Amino acid sequence: MKSGVLRSSGAGVFADPYADAAAAGARVIAVASGKGGAGKSNLTVNLGLALAAAGRRVIILDADLGLANVEVLLGVTPPASLFDCLYHGRDIREVLVPAPGGVRFISGGSGFLELANLDRRRRERLIASLALLEEEADFLLIDTGAGISKNVLAFLAAAGEVIVVITPEPTSLTDGYSLIKVLARFRSHRRVLLAVNRAAGEKEAVDTFRRVERAVDRFLDIGVDYLGAVYEDRAVTRAVRAQVPFLLAEPRSQPAKSVTAMAGRLLTGGREEAARRSGIKGFFHRLVRVFE
Ligand SMILES: Nc1ncnc2c1ncn2[C@@H]1O[C@H](COP(=O)(O)OP(=O)(O)O)[C@@H](O)[C@H]1O
Ligand SMILES: [Mg+2]
């Protein structure tokens, strides 16, 4: 496990210099999984739509550098990406793409790969530009790539809150646990949220959560909270094929109801963790410092 590439010392890498201003800022939530195909992109998109349906302003950021899944799931084609903000002087608000269901979407493109190469001036400009989003959103949801690469970990450690998606498959459980273990080492979060995907039903979902929770409680200095479960359901695959998110295409399906319940839980719970590290500007500040 190569977590050493990311500085995790208490040197304040993740300290938030905007903590006071951030209290009223957007909640920045990164969605992660140890293993690919766990359901991150579907959860990010549909959770965003559920929060939007609850009247919140939602921006979805695709930070999966390998696979730009969000645009495929939403059925939209972004005319520009974060890369264009960095190198072609585009305002961040120009790369915000309106998507069905009232959410807006930003394609990271290869922009995030460039963070490491930016000079200080460009970085500062990027942060200032991204801070403009603060007034545009209540939630910034980030779809990340799978695994524990430096890039992914940087997003997770910098995010205000983290959702880890696991499935009942043994390999997904162990990879999910490994991811939480690395996060625990950064001491960036006191708690993470766990979402179970593709369980056969409630019993398997809760069992899956409990197994991870037991191991985490026993061995790691971090807490896990149950966000909810999306069962194995054809509504998900149908939605992926039709390029219309299941929350919009089949609002009465189990996945749609479950994701709506998760949105409700986010809105009523997790206040403490949220208040401690909210704000888009603080998030990007922490993110960029990792690459310095
Ligand atoms: N609850 C589910 N029921 C059935 N199929 C699912 C479910 N969740 C995900 N899938 C399938 O798994 C694929 C990968 O999901 P995706 O959200 O793209 O995962 P990730 O972003 O973690 O790689 C989907 O395209 C879909 O075919
Ligand atoms: Mg994905």
Ligand 1 pocket test, pick from 231, 236, 244 with the greatest ligand atom count within 8 Å of Cβ, gives 236
Distance of alpha carbon 32 from alpha carbon 205, whole angstroms: 18
Residue 148 has pLDDT above 50, yes or no: yes
Spatial CB neighbours of 35, under 8 Å, sequence gap ≥ 6: 146, 147, 167, 169, 171, 172, 175, 176
Contact 127, 292 (CB under 8 A): no
Return the beta strands (E) in the chain as ranges.
27-32, 58-63, 97-98, 104-107, 139-144, 161-166, 191-199, 223-231
The whole-chain average pLDDT of the chain stands at 86
Atom of ligand 1 nearest to the CA of 240: 25
Residue 201 has pLDDT above 80, yes or no: yes
Q: Is 247 helix (H, G, I), strand (E, B) or coil?
A: helix
Residue 111 has pLDDT above 80, yes or no: no
What is the CB < 6 Å shell around ligand 1? Answer: 33, 36-42, 69, 197-198, 230, 232-233, 236-237, 240, 255
Find how far residue 178's CA is from the centre of its chain.
17
The closest of 212, 257, 251 to 231, measured between CA atoms, is 257
The band of 271, judged by pLDDT with boundaries at 50, 70 and 90, is: low
Residue 100 CA: distances (Å) to CA of 41, 53, 180: 16, 11, 33
Q: Is 179 helix (H, G, I), strand (E, B) or coil?
A: helix
Q: If you take atom 27 of ligand 1, which residue's CA is the nearest one? A: 237
pLDDT at position 93, please? Answer: 82
Read off the pTM: 0.89
Residue 67 host element (H or E): none
Atom of ligand 1 nearest to the CA of 232: 3
The closest of 68, 69, 75 to 100, measured between CA atoms, is 75
Residue 82 CA: distances (Å) to CA of 41, 107, 138, 254, 270: 18, 6, 20, 34, 29
The band of 274, judged by pLDDT with boundaries at 50, 70 and 90, is: low
Contact 61, 252 (CB under 8 A): no
The band of 15, judged by pLDDT with boundaries at 50, 70 and 90, is: very low
Spatial CB neighbours of 165, under 8 Å, sequence gap ≥ 6: 31, 32, 33, 38, 39, 40, 43, 176, 195, 196, 197
Count CA within 13 A, CB hemisphere, residue 115: 23
Q: Which of 17-21, 66-70, 115-119 shows the lowest per-residue confidence on average (mean pLDDT)?
A: 17-21
Atom of ligand 1 nearest to the CA of 37: 23
Q: If you take atom 26 of ligand 1, which residue's CA is the nearest one? A: 237
The closest of 80, 56, 84 to 141, measured between CA atoms, is 56
Distance of alpha carbon 183 from alpha carbon 194, whole angstroms: 13
83-92 pLDDT tens trace: 788 778 788 8
Contact 32, 64 (CB under 8 A): no
162-181 pLDDT tens trace: 999 999 999 999 999 999 99
Q: Is 223 helix (H, G, I), strand (E, B) or coil?
A: strand
Residue with tokens 């709506």: 260
pLDDT at position 102, please? Answer: 95
